Structure 1
């Protein structure tokens, strides 16, 4: 007898919104097996306990994942994985499952299923690294040529993979438009959700620990918060430069990634800016709750952490382009179309102009019930 469901993830290397959503989907389907080609040691320590040993690594590259732990070898490992990604996914045997749910932001939708499999693709995004020419154009001339050739080859594979028979879903209107533009296919919009954890009150010990972190950094002063993986496309360097010019406003940066050292250097001489690395969810929840507002500078496909901030009753400030513009309204935050507007927003922002209960209500409108119904209607 076939097993009911396999969930196919992208490589799990650094903790982000996609990994958090995977954890939540896994709770909805407790008997599903979860496949990923690679689970880094760093992420294993943060997520495996939540998934109770259900993650199956299916790529031989997992034996080399230790290379990802070192900054010196990380780039080599990432390029190696990106070169063989399509082959890795197409060779995954899923014939023992009735349903296959892919959570795709690059390769996952490229698994090859049979007529006896029911495949559902949940698109987080088409691969931004191959479809967005801005990433290629940033590279130096010789590397740019090879990158353009590689991207062209990838796009052919990616387009053809998306044409295979499947039910297609997207996590926002913004992503659905990209799926239509790049693949020529329609997809149903299924907004993600956040767990009840983010609406709940924390333990007193955790509150004290979070407050101590802030007090040791800024004293009793107010602070703005950004929670993000530290990649160049997140535009955190632009936000830091703005705060460098407004020393009366404090910025707390929570997260890790390849840009950490660069951003640390960029902010090291400024007492109003502090990078604190990764923090566990219980601490993050309190940091949200006590912040003046949270920032999101990049164009996001959805923005799960936006909902987390709103669940704490804290308003958000973010880029109106992308999925962020679909989440917030005038009662829950401020949108900007360009980072040049941030300095003005900072000087004018008043948290007291927002009603906490209305912000929380907006977060709750992204219902787990709607999400679950959309998925369960597709799974046979």
Structure 2
């Protein structure tokens, strides 16, 4: 089959791009489409020299550095790709990619990282964090989001099959699109991560420093526990706030490359994760390093971390995004740290391996191809 793969934008190698990279590996001859391509030097290795077809947005001033500002044009842009010559179209979608136009003789499989968060249940959070709660700019944003929801719902009928990246996203797909979906967890490079059963006396928090990651919450909680050491890895808009509230027991490293981060992760006594993520690759990577996880008990973490009520637990959960809840979880972990063995953490992480993703994804594509052929007679 002639295969086309489409991803919203390629401006950095984050979680959804890692999934895309695996899909590209599975279909080495597929053509790749994206609205905007501006990968930093070195990160474009994931394309393996592949030619990328971009949209008209690529040529607009500022699109490569401030791509989110062009969201009002993205539904139009994605509909301009002519994919009529392909038998199989795979969209990797967290915004508009699933809205690509396909015909009745084409199979469209969409891997949904999430329905558009800012257009649906996180609209009010997005408006508040963007300073758009009142005034003319706020109303303009609300009107835009209203029309994005209409377009998003209309195009939800396009794919023959939707794949969710977690049961959490499966529920959101059912709520937003009124559609069934299959779950295939994202791939994590388990074997490429360093494992250590020996731990040093510190907790680790690592993420982009943006509000919804709640890194400042973790730092504020440890500021109230001067007897507990926290290592903070990452960078972003909240870095000035985090530096301001950090106390001497909090070490802030800033950005670290993958090898340095993973070395710190493998020696940490536990990884602290306060965000509500759709899946959350970092908690799985921590477990692959043999490190237990203390996580907010919402979203994908409930599917990737085995709590104390399970056999062979790999971490525990706190039930609210508050300093008190984080403090209680840390104290609880320290009181029973021997329950969470590095070996169990590593074994649990293998469930989310790259090999497992590839096997499951190819099986689903083949099943859909056969079903499509039977329907065609």
| Coarse TM-score class (shorter-chain normalised) | 0.7 to 0.9
- Mean alpha-carbon deviation: is it higher for 121-130 or for 244-253? 244-253
- Mean alpha-carbon deviation: is it higher for 237-246 or for 353-362? 237-246
CA contact (8 A) 2:194 2:263 kept: no
**Residue 348 (structure 1) aligned to one of 325, 332, 346:** 332
CA contact (8 A) 1:243 1:273 kept: no
Residue of structure 2 in register with 1:141 after alignment: 134
Q: Give structure 2 stretches of 5+ with no counterpart.
A: 308-312, 371-377
Alpha-carbon RMSD across the aligned residues, in angstroms, is: 2.5
Q: Does residue 83 of structure 2 align to residue 90 of structure 1?
A: no
Q: 1:221 to 1:176 in 2, by over 3 A?
A: closer
Counterparts in 2 of 1:279-290, with a 5 A limit? Answer: 279-290=256-267
CA distance in 2, matches of 1:263, 1:36: 35
Tell me the SS of whatever aligns to 1:198: coil
Q: Does residue 324 of structure 2 align to residue 335 of structure 1?
A: no
Q: How far has the Cα of 1:195 moved from its partner? A: 2.5
Counterparts in 2 of 1:1-380, with a 5 A limit? Answer: 4-40=2-38, 43-54=39-50, 56-64=52-60, 69=65, 74=66, 77-79=67-69, 81-131=70-120, 132-136=122-126, 138=128, 139-142=132-135, 143-199=137-193, 222-257=201-236, 259-267=237-245, 270=248, 272-277=250-255, 279-330=256-307, 331-340=313-322, 341-350=325-334, 351-366=337-352, 367-368=356-357, 369-379=359-369
1:190-238 superposed Cα distances (whole Å, 9 cap, x missing partner): 1223134434569xxxxxxxxxxxxxxxxx9633222323322111222
CA distance in 1, matches of 2:21, 2:6: 12
TM-score (normalised: structure 2): 0.84
TM-score (normalised: structure 1): 0.84
Q: 1:201 to 1:299 in 2, by over 3 A?
A: closer
CA distance in 1, matches of 2:317, 2:365: 30
Q: 1:199 to 1:161 in 2, by over 3 A?
A: same
Q: How far has the Cα of 1:180 moved from its partner? A: 1.0
CA contact (8 A) 1:172 1:191 kept: yes
CA contact (8 A) 2:209 2:239 kept: no
1:132-169 superposed Cα distances (whole Å, 9 cap, x missing partner): 23325513311332222111111000000101242111
- Mean alpha-carbon deviation: is it higher for 53-62 or for 306-315? 53-62
- Flag the structure with higher helix content: 1
CA distance in 2, matches of 1:68, 1:230: 21
Runs of 4+ in 1 over 6 A off after TM superposition: none
Tell me the SS of whatever aligns to 1:365: helix
Q: How far has the Cα of 1:15 moved from its partner? A: 3.3
Q: 1:125 to 1:51 in 2, by over 3 A?
A: same
Q: Give structure 1 stretches of 5+ with no counterpart.
A: 203-219
Q: How far has the Cα of 1:326 moved from its partner? A: 1.2
CA contact (8 A) 2:203 2:229 kept: yes
Tell me the SS of whatever aligns to 2:45: coil
CA distance in 1, matches of 2:150, 2:326: 39
Q: 1:63 to 1:272 in 2, by over 3 A?
A: same
Q: 1:136 to 1:308 in 2, by over 3 A?
A: closer
1:242-286 superposed Cα distances (whole Å, 9 cap, x missing partner): 1222233333333344x2543454346655130412x33333322
Matched length: 350
CA distance in 2, matches of 1:271, 1:11: 39
Q: How far has the Cα of 1:38 moved from its partner? A: 1.5
Tell me the SS of whatever aligns to 1:11: strand
CA distance in 2, matches of 1:315, 1:281: 19
Q: How far has the Cα of 1:86 moved from its partner? A: 0.4
CA distance in 2, matches of 1:251, 1:66: 38
Q: 1:39 to 1:324 in 2, by over 3 A?
A: same
CA distance in 2, matches of 1:17, 1:301: 11
